[in-house]
Chains A and B, each alone.
Chain A
Amino acid sequence: MAAAVDNLTRPVASIPKPPDRYRTFTAVVSWAAPAALILIVAVLFQQAWPSVTRFGPGFIVGQDWNQVTNNFGALPFIFGTVVTSAFALLIAIPVGVAVAVLLAEPGAQGLRGVLGTGIELLAAIPSVVYGIWALYVLAPWTLVHIETPITDHLGAVPFLGGVPRQTSLFTASLVLAVMILPTLSAVSRDVIRAVPRGLRESTVALGATWWETVWHVILPAARAGIFGATVLALGRALAETVAVAMVIGNRPEIPHSIFSPGYTLAAVIANEFAEATGDVYQGALVEIGLVLILVTLTVNLLALLLVHSARARAAI
């Protein structure tokens, strides 16, 4: 009797399952993305080795970039990359967050749907198109209407003086700001949307106006996620290549003014790698690529962590 009951209650799952070969197959295929990522870093490291062993950690702080004496340092490029990205963020953050707040509003889309489509199209335009536009339209315009007046009146302020040029750190920052705006606003919009509805509704029920709700409740609640979106946009700005290479002026030195030409990590690879001769010169350029990819990967990882944890917290 007891044995019969035992038989009845035995779980069905104990019947051995056939192996799910489809699952194994797709799982193996899905190794492609992580494998590509690891392989890229490994191959760049191996290719940069001649330069890594020759210059050591001094490569990061070296200011010389001399193909004749084979002496290479990355500081001017790191400087240019950091300054243009930071300045681009400074411009893009207020605009991007405003766009995100507007697009995250609940209710009928209408005009906001059209604006949202426009912002997403900004992200779709190839960077070389931004480059040619910036070179022939934006750069001449900023020289006359922004750079010259500022240097004329505020030239005494450090970093704003000097002789303004069309191709400069400033022009590159403007283009970058336009290019990272869609990332910034799309991710911020998602984290703002993830703010619990009840929070918004109870604030409105207390008699708060739209702006008071946004400023005192929504934005503080979404703060961590918006910060994550900003860091993600920073990653995009650091990685951008051709649009910057076309308008930054390509001068491997640390400029004294934001209106002077400079150089970025990505731009120097784009301009010089195809013509680079010799192990050390090529190695130095690949090492710049290695520095670039390691920094952007770290920045992106940090950003993804921030955005994910912000969304997870909001979902509770």
Chain B
Amino acid sequence: MRRNLWRRFSSSFAMGVMYALTVVALIPLGLVLWFTVSKGLPSVSNLEFFLNSQRPSGIPGGGVANAIAGTAIIVALASLVAIPVGVLSGIYLAEYGAGRWANWVRLASDVLVGAPSIAIGLFAYALVVVPQHHFSGTSASVALAIVMLPVVIRTTESAVGLIPNGLRESGLALGLPRWRVSLQLILPAAAPGVITGALLAVARAAGETAPVLFTAFGNQIFTLDPTHAMTTLPLVVFRDALTPYKDLQQEAWGAALLLVVMVLVINLGSRWVLRRQIRLARQL
């Protein structure tokens, strides 16, 4: 009897420890969010922060408009390549994915997700910056497209894989060719999952620093021309945070807050959409 009591107690105790450790794991999340919000708010609450470009330390009225424009253009160009290629690859894996080649593609994208992004930056530098002899937004887009590609591939594969086979079979039974079934029937049905996957890839790319360090390089001047050096929000955080100037450090916290807000909105939104998608797929 005593022994059973002890066993039950130790079991509850162990479960308590597990919950405690999980809460410990979440403390950093809380701290990071709290400090970026509290330290970043003074920057973000000023409209000039969004309208003006970066200014040297000591000159008031600096903002991150150049970084916002740079991030948007570089990530948009990267998406233009990575999303179509990734979606088509993902469709291939989901529709014809039984063979050996498909397994190589899966393996390559799983390995590519874990590849050091700084090495991808070196690659883009050698491939684009060296022949052109200058830093450019497009070279950063090349690097970020490689960062995005595996994310898009795997999320597309799982989103298309969720669509019940009945839909595919009914399309084929009506005499539609495979490509029309796939692009006009399956892809629209899987669209929420595919789009959220693409958005997650966009969020990841927009938050990357290492691949843009020596491709986009940074540029204090506002430009919309991706053949010039550009700056992105993570670059602002990285460079400004390491300066000894209080006003630039403040700017870094503001840029960090913008990044965190973007990432949280995309991630929480996509979780909500995906959950809905899985529920709908079950009803079919």
Residues on A close to B: CB < 8 A?
20-23, 25-27, 29-34, 36-37, 39-40, 43-44, 46-47, 94-96, 98-99, 101-102, 115, 117-122, 124-133, 135-137, 178, 181, 185, 209-212, 214-215, 232, 235-236, 238-239, 241-242, 246, 266, 269-270, 273-274, 285-286, 289-290, 292-293, 296-297, 300-301, 304
In the complex, A298→B103 CA distance in Å?
Answer: 17
In contact, A232 and B237 (Cβ under 8 angstroms):
no
Residues on B with beta carbons closer than 8 Å to the beta carbon of A289: 116, 118-119, 122
What residues of chain B lie closer than 8 Å to A32, measured between beta carbons? 85, 89, 149
Contact partners of B166 in chain A: CB under 8 A: none
Tell me which residues across on chain A come within 8 A of B108, comparing CB atoms: 33-34, 36-37
Take A30-B89, A44-B119, A99-B22 as given contacts and tell me if A129 and B126 are in contact as well, using a CB distance cutoff of 8 Å: no
9 extra A-B contacts, CB within 8 A, seeds A29-B85, A121-B268 = A40-B120, A95-B22, A99-B18, A115-B22, A129-B32, A132-B36, A132-B253, A212-B11, A297-B111
Contact of B122 among A34, A47, A121, A181 (CB under 8 A): A47
Contact segment of B54-62, B190-198, B209-217: B209-217
CB distance from A66 to the nearest CB of B (A): 21
Q: For chain A, what secondary structure do more than half of its interface residues adopt (helix, strand, loop), or is it mixed?
A: helix
Residue with the highest number of chain A CB atoms closer than 10 Å, among B146, B241, B267: B241
Given contacts A37-B108, A241-B116, contact A126 B182 (CB under 8 A): no
User: For the complex, is B264 an interface residue (Cβ under 8 Å from A)?
Assistant: yes
A102 touches B122 (CB 8 A): no
- Least CB distance from B126 to A in Å reads 5
Given contacts A26-B89, A32-B149, A129-B237, contact A293 B115 (CB under 8 A): yes
Question: With a CB–CB cut-off of 8 A, which chain B residues contact A290?
Answer: 119
Q: Does B260 contact A (CB under 8 A)?
A: yes
Given contacts A133-B32, A137-B35, contact A26 B88 (CB under 8 A): yes
| A101-B16 Cα distance, complex, nearest whole Å | 12
Q: With A125-B32, A211-B14 given, is the CB distance from A242 to B209 under 8 Å?
A: yes
B14: nearest residue on chain A (CB-CB)? A211
The answer to whether the Cβ of B92 comes within 8 Å of any Cβ in the partner chain is: yes
Query: How far, in whole Å, are A127 and B32 apart by their CA atoms in the complex?
Result: 11
Q: Is the CB of A102 within 8 A of B19?
A: yes
Which residue in A117, A122, A235, A269 is a CB contact (below 8 Å) of B114?
A235
Q: Mark out the residues of chain B between 28 and 71 whose CB falls within 8 Å of any chain A CB in the assembled complex.
A: 28-29, 31-32, 35-36, 39
The answer to whether B234 and A125 have CB atoms under 8 Å apart is no
Q: Which partner residue on chain A sits nearest B241 by CB separation?
A: A132
Contact A40 B105 (CB under 8 A): no
Contact among A181, A246, A266, A304 for B242, CB-based, below 8 A: A246
Note all chain A residues with C-beta closer than 8 A to B137: none
On whether the beta carbons of B89 and A126 are closer than 8 Å, the reply is no
B131-183 CB contacts (< 8 Å) to partner A: 146, 149-150, 153, 177-179, 182
Flag if B241 contacts A135 (CB, 8 Å): yes
B241/A246 in contact, CB under 8 A: yes
Chain A residue with the shortest CB-CB distance to B101: A27
User: Which one of B149, B208, B214 contacts A273 once the chains associate, using CB atoms below 8 Å?
Assistant: B214
**Please, how many angstroms separate the alpha-carbon atoms of A128 and B138 in the complex?**
22
Give the contacting residue for B115; candidates A21, A214, A239, A286; CB below 8 A.
Answer: A239
Can you report 15 residue pairs joining A to B where beta carbons are below 8 Å apart? A22-B182, A30-B92, A43-B126, A118-B26, A118-B29, A128-B207, A135-B241, A136-B39, A185-B25, A211-B13, A242-B209, A246-B241, A269-B118, A292-B118, A296-B116
Question: What A residues does B267 contact at CB under 8 A?
Answer: 120-121, 124
The residue on B at minimum CB distance from A174 is B28
Please name the residue on chain A nearest to B84 by beta carbon: A29
B15 within 8 A of A: yes
Q: Is B222 an interface residue (CB 8 A)?
A: no
B93 at the interface (CB under 8 A from A): yes
The 0/1 profile, CB within 8 Å of A marked 1, for residues 243-263 of chain B is 000000100110010011001
Residue of B nearest to A103 (CB): B22
Report yes or no: B123 in contact with A39, Cβ–Cβ below 8 A: yes
Tell me whether A33 and B114 are in contact (CB under 8 A). Answer: no
Q: Is the CB of A99 within 8 A of B32?
A: no
Chain A residues with Cβ under 8 A from B19's Cβ?
102
- Give the shortest distance, in Å, between A294 (CB) and chain B (any CB): 9
Choose among A30, A209, A246 the residue with the greatest number of B CB atoms under 10 Å from its CB. A30
The CA-CA distance from A126 to B32 in the complex, in Å, is: 11
